A and B are shown apart, each in its own frame.
Chain A
Amino acid sequence: MTMSRHATIPELEPTMSEHAPSSGLPRLLEGVPAQGAMTLQAHLDTHGELPSARRRDQRGATALIDQIEQAGLGGRGGAAFPTAKKMRTVAAGRGKPIVVVNATEGEPASLKDRTLLETLPHLVLDGAALAARAIGADEAILCVCESAGVGLEHSARAISERERLPGRWPRIVLSTAPEGYVVGHESALVSHLNGGAPKPTFSPPMPFERGVRRRPTLVNNAETLAHVALIARHGPRWFRELGLSDQPGSTLVTLTGPLSYPGVYEVEYGASLSSLLDAAGGTTSRVRAALFGGYAGTWVDGGALPSLALSNAHLAPHGASLGAGVVLLLSEDACPVAETARVTRWLAGQSAGQCGPCVHGLDTLAATFEQVCGGAAPSHATARVEQLAALVRRRGACSHPDGTARFAMSAVDVFSEEFADHARHGACDACARQSELPLPARTRIATAA
């Protein structure tokens, strides 16, 4: 089985031991400590020295971009944009470039970046330093959500530990960002780091053209840079030993739902969903559907899950993608209509409040779902949802309305029976049950311990 599990958060349990040694996994999660963060020394013992500490010439640095390109690394923040292409664009920009490590992870159903910072911060910091050097930047800003607690603490400690590293490395500074779903959008992060509101901006200029301090800015997700740290050490061929030709390597997946061991897992692209569920100790109740990619993502009906594999190519026929690696199972005990209404209301509340169609459209969308849930919806409610989704798509400065529209449309599609039932008979018994889909209020309580 090609899979490795990291303990759930916040209660760090021992990692599962039974992964086949031949599987090539874990990679990122190799030696992940059961408690606390891996120290710099343990990190170097596990993964080896930083490669360009040995060859410091500039050619060695830019060669990393070629290696990343050959590895076929795609961004892990959700959009899967080719990392090397982004790096080249920033490196070719006007002025001294700068790196921003996006570890804000505003997606409530994602815990992978936080897990990396809490347990393996040096992987992320290696990647940040290597990427900065490769594009000719002298500084990388690690941007973490202000509510990250342990993640922040461990990041700060890890950054100070790195003063002991031999050689000259680009400076890494820690910066916090406020909580919020749209804060992690590149332009919002850049605006925040420039002293402005943490809200998406109208582009151009794009961050890669003119971003933090008006410099060409490379914004990379934390996990993306963790992979860079390993590609720099082992090369592109090694990276491609796992995964698929069009989506190579491994990925972190945050798996949530009715499972014995929900948590953050490292899987190879193309692994079967059922092998992941097995690694999580199996499901504890029947699964109605799975949401892929988080709350800007897409539902896939439970019936399609047994044959499903974890890659964008396998998910594409279902209109879904892995996004930032979120797999959320909804049990048959839950009411999908109530869950959809609750999450859509939350998404509406996460609008930055800047663009009219987003402000009004998402609010109306949430209200429509609430009416359906209460049985007070007009008969054409589903058509109304479709109309609203079309009205908000591509009409914001960022993709928040588009993501919400996707989530809403896929809910109406996959849960069509439940929606029809609510339209006819009003609230169901399951409506009143405790909700399953995680939203930040609950996450925050859980991580406060």
Chain B
Amino acid sequence: MSERLRLNPIACEAHGMCAELLPERISLDEWGYPILDERPLSPDLVSHAQRAAQACPTFALLVERERSRG
């Protein structure tokens, strides 16, 4: 089971907190909106990712368990 970052682009208001807290996986585009690296998070990054998600003022950043494919 691995975790990935996902963004709700409707909720995102480009506060940019996520890129501050998880620069390993998140950069900002020229308008300030996050560009995610959506590959599975390595174990050492999961807690940082969760902190970034909690810090998002609009709850737009999600750390999702990969859904098992059937």
Q: Are A357 and B10 in contact (CB under 8 A)?
A: no
Given A391-B29, A395-B33, does the pair A356, B8 have CB atoms closer than 8 Å?
Answer: no
**A331 interface contact, C-beta 8 A:** no
* Cβ-based interface call for A377 (8 A): no
Contact with A along B23-61 (1 / 0, CB 8 A): 000000111110100000000000000000000000000
Given contacts A391-B29, A395-B33, contact A356 B12 (CB under 8 A): yes
A357–B29 contact, CB under 8 A?
A: yes
Question: A356 CA to B29 CA in the complex, in Å?
Answer: 10
Tell me the minimal C-beta distance from A205 to chain B in angstroms: 13
Categorize the interface residue count of chain B.
Answer: 10 to 19
For residue A388, which residue of chain B has the nearest CB?
B30
Which residues on B sit within 8 Å (CB–CB) of A354?
Answer: 9-10
Residue from A355, A356, A358, A360 with most neighbouring chain B CB atoms (10 Å): A356
A202 CA / B11 CA spacing, docked (Å): 9
A247 sits at the interface (CB 8 A): no
Q: Is A396 among interface residues, defined by CB-CB distance under 8 A?
A: yes
Q: How far is the CB of B10 from chain A (nearest CB, A)?
A: 4
B10 touches A355 (CB 8 A): yes
Determine whether the beta carbon of A355 is less than 8 Å from that of B9.
Answer: yes
Name the residue on B nearest A395 (C-beta).
B9
Partner of A355, one of B12, B30, B35: B12
A397 at the interface (CB under 8 A from B): yes
How long is the Cα–Cα vector from A324 to B10 in the complex, in angstroms?
A: 27
Specify the chain A residue showing the minimal Cβ separation from B14. A356
When the two chains form the complex, which single residue of B9, B29, B31, B32 contacts A202, counting CB atoms closer than 8 Å? B9
Interface assignment of A201: CB less than 8 Å from any CB of chain B:
yes
Q: How far is the CB of B37 from chain A (nearest CB, A)?
A: 13
For window 343-386 of A, CB contacts with B under 8 Å fall at: 354-358, 360-361
Chain A neighbourhood of B12, CB < 8 A: 355-356
> In the assembly, what is the distance between CA of A396 and CA of B11, in Å?
11
B6 and chain A: residue at smallest CB distance: A202
A residues near B11, Cβ cutoff 8 Å: 202
The docked-state distance in angstroms from the alpha carbon of A356 to that of B9 is 7
* CA–CA, A201 and B10, complex, Å: 8
| Cα distance, A209 to B7, chains bound together (Å) | 21
Chain A residues within 8 Å of B33, by CB: 356-357, 360, 395
Shortest distance from the beta carbon of A300 to any chain B beta carbon, whole Å: 31
Contacts of B31 in A (CB 8 A): 356-357, 360-361
Smallest Cβ-Cβ distance to A355: which chain B residue: B9
A202/B8 in contact, CB under 8 A: yes
- 0/1 interface trace, chain A 246-260, chain B, CB 8 Å (1 if under): 000000000000000
Return the contact of A357 from the options B8, B9, B13 (Cβ within 8 A).
Answer: B9
Which of chain B's residues have a CB closer than 8 A to the CB of A396? Answer: 9
Residues in B neighbouring A202, C-beta threshold 8 A? 8-11
Which residues of chain B come closer than 8 Å to A357, judged between CB atoms? 9, 29, 31, 33
Ranked nearest first, the 7 interchain pairs of A and B with the lowest CB-CB distance are: A355-B9, A356-B33, A360-B31, A354-B10, A202-B8, A397-B10, A202-B10
Binding site for A on B (CB under 8 A): 8-14, 29-33, 35
16 contacts between A and B (CB under 8 A): A202-B10, A202-B11, A354-B9, A355-B12, A356-B31, A356-B33, A357-B9, A357-B29, A358-B9, A360-B30, A360-B31, A360-B33, A361-B31, A391-B29, A395-B9, A396-B9
